[in-house]
Structure 1
Amino acid sequence: MQGLEHAGAIQFRRVFAEADEVDWPCPEDHDVTHACSTLAGSPAGEEAVAVCDGLIDLIAVLFSVSGRYLRSPKRHGRAIARVRQIGMYIAHTTLGMRMVDVATGFGRNKSTVMYACHLVEDMRDDLEFNQIVARVEQIVRAAFHLGTSRDVGNGR
């Protein structure tokens, strides 16, 4: 599978198979200081951080990775970077957020979000990876009380 180690893929399948039965905990490593420091009190920026923060907490649990690592300005290796890229992709495509708002929420720049979205879209050609992303999208829609689609970024 492109970009994901086999053991990681097995872990992802196990997590997604059990996802409907999980009582979602609130991760204790909640820290968005680096992202909030770039906002300068912007209401739109604060909303983007809040939405992305919830998404980061959710994908951290789904992929069994540290939310602190996902929020960190560092890459923390290929697996963490890939989970972060999936999160940015889902924030843009599933939650309908503008790329600039996703960038603010993830503490990254817009070009990083654009790269992540293009990369994940290309990687969805792999059937197993596509199934993983589709399952995460389904869970995110349920967690954010969305139907099949919703444009959070435009307040609909």
Structure 2
Amino acid sequence: MRPRRNAAIRTSPLCVAAVAAACGVAPRELGARSRGRAPVADARHLALYLDHVAFGASLSACGRALSRDRASVRHACARIEDRRDDANFDRAVVALEQALGAQKRLLEALAFSFISHPTGEES
């Protein structure tokens, strides 16, 4: 099956993987229905924040990706915004935003090359 020409890169999995690695929690814990321990909830808040603010995903899309509702995503974003007053935390968030942006651009370039030059199809 040929990919759609304008298929967007889903950013939620990128955010989950990056935040899980940075915070030392398992990616599956971020999508668990239960709140989990405080470090897991904090990491989930950060993943939701990055997906919504850095990548512009809608509150609903962010919530669906991590089994939360829109109000929970709004709460997570507010919590992270409050924590960004701490210079060290803010630097870490900026570094994650930059790394995720670079990763997304790389994936978009790869996706474009596959769309432009599909493999395994006969002409």
Select 1:109's aligned residue among 58, 66, 69.
69
Correspondence for 2:33: 73
How many residues were matched structurally? 99
Instruction: After TM superposition, list the pairs within 5 Å mapping 1:41-60 onto structure 2.
Output: 50-60=10-20
- Taking the aligned partners of 2:84 and 2:40, their CA distance within structure 1 comes to 18
Which runs of 5 or more structure 1 residues have no equivalent in the other structure?
A: 1-46, 147-156
- Taking the aligned partners of 2:84 and 2:11, their CA distance within structure 1 comes to 24
Deviation at 1:53, TM superposition (A): 2.3
- Taking the aligned partners of 1:90 and 1:125, their CA distance within structure 2 comes to 16
Q: TM-score, normalised by structure 1?
A: 0.59
- Taking the aligned partners of 2:66 and 2:94, their CA distance within structure 1 comes to 21
Q: What CA RMSD, in Å, does the superposition of the two structures yield over aligned residues? A: 1.8
Report the more deviating stretch, 97-106 or 57-66: 57-66
Q: Which amino acid aligns with 1:86?
A: L
Deviation at 1:63, TM superposition (A): 2.0
- Taking the aligned partners of 2:84 and 2:14, their CA distance within structure 1 comes to 24
Q: Which amino acid aligns with 1:87?
A: A
User: Deviations for 1:47-72, whole angstroms, at most 9, x for unmatched residues?
Assistant: 79x53123212221222210111111
